[in-house]
Structures are given as structure tokens and as C-alpha cells.
Amino acid sequence: MRYIGNKTRLLPFLMSTIEKLDLTPKTAHDAFSGTAAVGRALKVAGWQVTSSDLMTYSYVFQRAYVVAQRSPSFAALRAGDPELRRAHRSSAFRKSIASHGALGAMGEYLTGWIEPERGFIGTHFAPAGGRMYFTQENADRIDAIRRRLYEWWSSGLIHDDAYYILLAALIEGADRVANTAGVYAAYIKRWQANARRALTLRAEIPQRGPRGASAHRADASAVAAAAGDIELIYIDPPYNARQYSGYYHVPEVIARGWFDGVPLLRGKTGLIGGTEQQSDWCSGRKAGAALSGLLRATGARHALVSYNSEGLLSERDLRDVLEEAAKFGRVKRYSRGYRRYRSDSDRVGRVYQGDRVRELLYHVRLR
């Protein structure tokens, strides 16, 4: 998924730094999980991971990529869903299973066998609702798949792992055909080539790791306090004033489903009402206190803090907080340059300072 602050390209830098620090894989808290890229990498490296984030779509990714341990079984679903049972008897479906496995075949079934239907996405985030986030065909297909997944899960025909793995695939598939520049703060006023493509699902088989991983849609400090004594906390907070609840409200809508009530939308882009997912880390006045509070709350022996050379906190302010929390006041800094993520072009009110930016990674041994 296209995502501000995604650490996928920086994973070699992060994991090699952990090796340099000679940190033995034990227990870790990925405090701002986002797309779960870091939590997944820690899991594969042998860490037992607790992950957290305020956003529901992140919780879906955490469940799919950090908590789930194996490819799910669909035996109960085949037995309980007559439509799928009929499809399963067809030569095309069996060929799909032979080529892509049961999980891949389920992705093809959801996008190619069930009929599109008008639901919340098709009504509000497609031309029928006056917005151009998705073509009407793709939006209606997203609605049909989302409802089908919820019905299977709520009736017990699929278990949690299958539900979250397929839901993660749906959110990522929707992002590939979203008519945006990479974030959902605005949609493009003409159809881009990717938006005209048909929706596809590429469900991933979970990678194995230590058992006991957990996912949380909650405040990082609350999760840190509840986690107790652990070896490592990885802190990758928002760096600027852009609230993720506004930049990724459409994936949030897909993740939540809203089968227990329809949300109120506001504005031209259909933002979700409410402030419970507004982050203090996106405020220059509050970010320092938020970091200090998280470092006090955690029971971790070590903290790794990712930040950006253009973040809200100056390097001096960031170091002041870290030195206050660190044993003997010692702070190590590692740095890596990378190509900037651009969700739009230079314009009045936003001028990027070149295409390169530096990722700053701080290590402290906590008191």
C-alpha cells in the first residue's frame, strides 16, 4: 500500500542497525505499526511482536502480517456456502487452486465470481456519490467483497486469520486502483490508468514467527504500559502535521465496514467525523511531550526511534527528550538518505526541499 512513512525500503537499514546493537531477538513493541512492514520484519527475524496503531486498517495489517502464522483453511466455508461450493466444482476454480493455492483462488473468486453490488463505497466514493476515488465498477466490487467477508466471518465460516488476510488484500487491492496521487486527501479529477484497471486481490500467505504476537488498535502509550517488561520498543511516529485519519480515511472506511451503523461524512472528500484518531504527534506543540510520555510508559530496555530530517521536532528537541530518558543520557544516532515520498507536486503553501531526505534512527538504553 502507498503510505507516508512506509519503512519497506528502509528495512535493511533498520534491521542491520539492530544487529550492530547486538540486540538478541526477544520481545518487541512496534508502537506505530502503519502497514506493519517493521512488525513483519521483526517477526521474521525471530522477535515476538506486540504492534499498535490508532487506525483500523493498520490493525487489519497487523492481524494479517504479524499475528497470523499459516495459510488459513477454507473447509468450513466450502461446506457452508452453496455458491462457493458450486464454484469449487468447476474446472476453472480447480485450475486456479492448482496454480495459486487455496488463498490465491479465494482472491480470484472474490473478484471474479461474485456480482458487484452498490454499498457504502459505491454510494459515497465513486461517481454515484459525486466523487472519483474509484470507478463505479471497482467501488461496487469492493462493497460486494467487503460484505461477503463480513458475512463469512460473523457466521463462523472463516476464522480470524482468513478474515484479516483477505481484508488486508482487499484494502491493498483497492489502493492499487484508487484514483489518487497516493493519499486520499484528494482524488484526481480525471481517471488515471491504474484506476481504470479491474480490482484484483493478492492475498499473502503469512510468514511464520514466534507465537504470542498481538495486535492493538489503541494509543501507543497505553499498549506500552500494558506490555510490561520487553526488550525493544520501535517508535516510528508521524513526522509532520498531516493527520493519517484524513489522509487515509477511505482505507479506514473499508477496514471498518460500518455494518453496525453508517458514519457521517463531511466535506468534498468524504472525511469521517470524530477526533478519536487525531494524533498529538502531528502537533509541533505536543509531539515532544507525547514522546516523553511514551518513553516513560514503556517497560522496554532499549528504544529505537525513527525520525525525519524535516520533522516537526528539531534534532535538538528530540535529543533533549531522548537524553532525559536514556541511561546515563547516552544517545546513538544512525542516518540514511533516501528518495522522498511525494504524494503531490510543489505548489503554493508546500515546496519540497529537494527529492532526498534523511532518515534518522536513534538508539537509547532506557533507565
Cβ-based neighbours of 239, under 8 Å, separated by 6 or more: 5, 307, 308, 310, 311, 312
- Reading the chain (367 residues) residue by residue, the pLDDT tens digits are 999 888 998 999 999 999 999 999 999 999 999 999 999 999 999 999 999 999 999 999 999 999 999 999 999 999 999 999 999 899 998 999 999 999 999 999 999 999 999 999 999 999 999 999 999 999 999 999 999 999 999 999 999 999 999 999 999 999 999 999 999 999 999 999 999 999 999 999 999 999 999 999 999 999 999 999 999 999 999 888 888 988 999 999 999 998 777 788 889 999 987 766 788 888 888 999 999 999 999 999 999 999 987 889 999 999 999 999 999 999 999 998 766 555 545 444 444 455 667 889 999 999 7
Nine cell digits for residue 338:
533516501
User: pTM value?
Assistant: 0.93
Count the neighbouring beta carbons within 10 Å of the beta carbon of residue 60.
Answer: 28
Smallest CA-to-CA distance from 132 within 270, 7, 33, 293 is with 270
- Rounded Cα distance, 246 and 236, in Å: 19
Give, in degrees to the nearest 5, the angle at Cα 301 between 295 and 304. Answer: 60
Closest C-alpha among 41, 37, 30 to residue 2: 37
pLDDT of residue 278: 80
In terms of phi and psi (left: phi > 0; alpha: psi -120 to 50; beta: otherwise), the region of 274 is left
pLDDT for the residue numbered 348: 43
48 closest CA partner among 252, 279, 197, 231: 231
Rg (CA), the chain: 21
pLDDT given at position 21: 96
Residue 323 is inside which H or E element, if any?
Answer: helix 315-325
pLDDT for 340 equals 56
**Domains, the chain, ordered by start:** 8-55+211-243+286-365 (3.40.50.150), 75-196 (no CATH)
Q: How many CB atoms lie within 10 A of CB 294?
A: 28
* Angstrom distances, CA of residue 300 to CA of 30, 245, 290, 292: 11, 28, 17, 14
